[in-house]
Chain A
């Protein structure tokens, strides 16, 4: 059966059997193997992808059901080849992964949460990732990674400087040097220290 899958902004056609899950189609037909096959019956969350921006389990959908929907996989988050998205980077900084098997699902789930809820509470993060199972690192650093990513995204989106934005002035705010919130913004040397050098 012919399907059109819109994955990470690319439109791909594939000829699949109806019983082929979206996960298998993504991995085998589109060769995007960042979505992991864990339990393959909807328990572990390793296969999580974003369907129209919302996390869903790609093993609980047949590829034919996904025909025409916008799908984002872990490969679609980074802004450019060789770079990491803010959430991916936060997982590295806080040691939010060990073996990495659950990580793509965790990152996509965290990413979707932060899109809807820019400042989630710890409980909201725990609830959001409750359907994703991690068997090695433990959840502490994963929750911390999502908190940290949220913090960075908020700061990146906040106007720098206390004087607000003047549309008639050049787009450089000199006061940002002194009064921009510095915490959470990593210096290169801090990247190697635990928790990015944060207490």
Chain B
């Protein structure tokens, strides 16, 4: 037994979990536990009480509410990976999921857990920031939500207050006719922590001009960052243009050096992967258009 002793409780509802959380400042939520358990084992984290929300049925599920894909906090990552609904409505999330941990950790790890953990190199927070997802938070006062951009503050640091429990993540669905996505990552080994990850989603009009574009970079600084691509709108951007726009937008990144790679390397890879992801997303958008045309003629 490696962790320090703690009390374990399994509440019957989210409301009860929030009450327990608010009543004890040393209490923590546990769901899949794929990060918390090793942190407890290495005694990098400590809790007097673990509140297990994993089995609360109200928190598990994937559904579409008008233009939003709502994923309950304790929905396992593998459920999203295998969900046709998720692949269809937020293909970027579906492309990012195979990069999250390993298959056995995705079997237990949850979407809400990954978001609440806020690892700067994590893929689900990166997609949340890229697409401008809303994080739903429940506390004893009720349910609120905040944009992913405000939610993530720094490494393992979020805006949740004592008594707050992340209960869902709401990913916007792009309804444009031609949407393309791409996800790229560089790490030491497949499924290890990303040195740099890039997530891109674009929408093109009938002439191939860009009508919406989002590019997020993860692993580079304290948190995932969405780059400003306003200069791409209305353009049929070629590689040279993409390089210029991404290189300029990437100046907002605040890369850090570590044991593995330098800050300079991170910046260079961020630009390269960002351009590659946008190019691939545009190719994907064009082919999705031909597919839907084919569908109409048949």
Residues of A within 8 A of B (CB): 1, 17-21, 24, 40-42, 45, 48, 51, 54-57, 59-62, 64-65, 109, 127-128, 130-131
| CB of A3 to closest CB in B, whole Å | 10
Other 6 A-B pairs with CB < 8 A, given A57-B104, A128-B103: A18-B50, A41-B38, A54-B104, A56-B107, A59-B37, A131-B102
- In the complex, what residue of chain A is closest to B41 when comparing beta carbons? A41
- In the complex, what residue of chain A is closest to B103 when comparing beta carbons? A128
- Is there contact, CB below 8 Å, between A64 and B8? yes
Does B6 reach chain A (CB closer than 8 Å)?
yes
**Residues of A contacting B19 in the complex (Cβ-Cβ under 8 angstroms):** none
Tell me the total A-B contact number using a CB cutoff of 8 A. Answer: 87
Name A's interface SS: mixed
12 A-B Cβ contacts within 8 A?
A: A1-B8, A18-B5, A18-B6, A40-B2, A45-B104, A51-B107, A54-B107, A60-B108, A65-B52, A130-B102, A130-B103, A131-B105
Does B78 reach chain A (CB closer than 8 Å)?
yes
Does B190 reach chain A (CB closer than 8 Å)?
yes
Does B288 reach chain A (CB closer than 8 Å)?
no
Interface size, chain B (Cβ < 8 Å): 31
| CB of B9 to closest CB in A, whole Å | 9
| CB of B298 to closest CB in A, whole Å | 30
| CB of B77 to closest CB in A, whole Å | 12
A64 to B40, CA, bound (A): 15
A5 to B166, CA, bound (A): 29
**Residues of B contacting A17 in the complex (Cβ-Cβ under 8 angstroms):** 1, 5
- Is there contact, CB below 8 Å, between A55 and B103? yes
Query: Which among A24, A42, A54 is the interface contact of B38 at CB below 8 angstroms?
Result: A42
A40 to B43, CA, bound (A): 13
